[in-house]
């Protein structure tokens, strides 16, 4: 499978998802938005991944390339190709599909519990959460680093929530997924983010310290397992939709 990735910062890499891509033997190309952005034609790849970033989707004046990226993402969504966005990437998808992106009530940084909304999504067609990997039920822990939140786009199904953020994920027509959390977060990815944005680790109800973040050794392995489970499931689901 040919995968294309939109990467917004040098240090916000594919992390665990990049490991999955390599293990599966898929090819990978990238548009580096922090350099001169060059977007391929949708027919040149099979799946689009949209990674995180410290900017907000509504900061087009500060980041003029956002308008071009939104046009590209909409073009890809309109083709029906699989698209998965993480954090800023999910917010990008939501806005392109008509959902609002605003500041969340709380900043959420560190390892936090996420709940799957199985009961809420029963019998909702192809977007139902019942197809998600069994290992994700009923809760899991994921890494967060965000201050914004997205509105669930019209026609999409809400998948996840956390205590600090009601909208942690959605799926649309079985092939478009937005995740507020970071399944890609491995040790190096987190180290990079702390180096770049460690000033955000201030006292807050849902903000963990650097010591707390690094103190959960088993969660790094769990994060990799989460990424693999999600990507395996998404790949199989999209193959069935062809």
Please give the sequence-ordered ranges of beta strands (E in DSSP) within 72-196, or none if there are none: 83-86, 101-116, 139-150, 157-161, 169-172, 176-179
Q: Is 182 a catalytic residue?
A: yes
Reported as a single tens digit per residue, the pLDDT across 5-57 is 999 999 999 999 999 999 999 999 999 999 988 999 999 999 999 999 999 99
> Residue 216 catalytic?
no
Mean pLDDT, residues 83-89: 98
pLDDT of 240 > 90? The answer is: no
Residue of 69, 95, 108, 184 with catalytic role: 184
- Domains of the chain plus CATH, in order, are 2-241 (3.40.50.880)
Our answer to whether residue 184 is catalytic in this structure is: yes
Catalytic residue among 5, 87, 165, 238: 87
Classify residue 233 by burial, with Cβ atoms within 10 Å: 0-12, 13-18, 19+.
Answer: middle
Residue 173 has pLDDT above 80, yes or no: yes
- What does the pLDDT read at residue 91? 98
What's the pTM? 0.92
Residue 120 pLDDT > 50:
no
Question: Could you count the other beta carbons within 10 Å of the beta carbon of residue 65?
Answer: 16
Active-site choice (4, 112, 146, 182): 182
DSSP state of 238: H
> For 58, how many CA atoms within 13 A lie in the half-sphere containing its CB?
11
Q: Find the mean pLDDT for residues 190-214.
A: 96
More confident of the two residues 129 and 147: 147
Pick the closest to residue 115 from 176, 184, 163, 185 (CA basis): 163
Residue with tokens 């890809």: 76
pLDDT at residue number 122: 41
- ∠ CA 222-204-208, nearest 5°, is 25
Place of tokens 């990997």: 133
């Amino acid at each position: 499978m040919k995968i294309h990735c939109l990467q917004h910062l040098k240090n916000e890499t594919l992390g665990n998802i990049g490991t999955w891509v390599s293990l599966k033997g898929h090819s990978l190309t990238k548009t580096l938005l922090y350099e001169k952005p060059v977007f391929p034609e949708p027919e040149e790849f099979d799946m689009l991944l949209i990674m995180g970033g410290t900017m907000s989707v509504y900061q087009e004046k500060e980041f003029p390339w956002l308008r071009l990226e939104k046009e590209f993402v909409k073009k890809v969504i309109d083709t029906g190709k699989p698209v998965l966005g993480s954090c800023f990437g999910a917010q990008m998808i939501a806005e392109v599909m008509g959902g609002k992106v605003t500041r969340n009530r709380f900043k959420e940084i560190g390892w936090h519990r996420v709940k799957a909304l199985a009961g809420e999504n029963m019998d909702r067609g192809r977007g139902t959460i019942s197809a998600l990997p069994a290992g994700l039920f009923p809760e899991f822990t994921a890494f967060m680093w965000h201050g914004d939140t997205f509105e669930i786009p019209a026609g999409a199904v809400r998948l996840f929530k956390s205590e600090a953020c009601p909208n942690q994920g959605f799926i649309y027509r079985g092939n478009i997924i937005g995740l507020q959390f970071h399944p890609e977060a491995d040790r190096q990815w987190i180290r990079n983010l702390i180096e770049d944005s460690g000033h955000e680790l201030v006292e807050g109800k849902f903000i963990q310290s650097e010591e707390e973040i690094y103190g959960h050794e088993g969660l790094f392995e769990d994060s990799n397992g989460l990424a693999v489970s999600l990507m395996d499931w998404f790949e199989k689901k999209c193959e069935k939709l062809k």
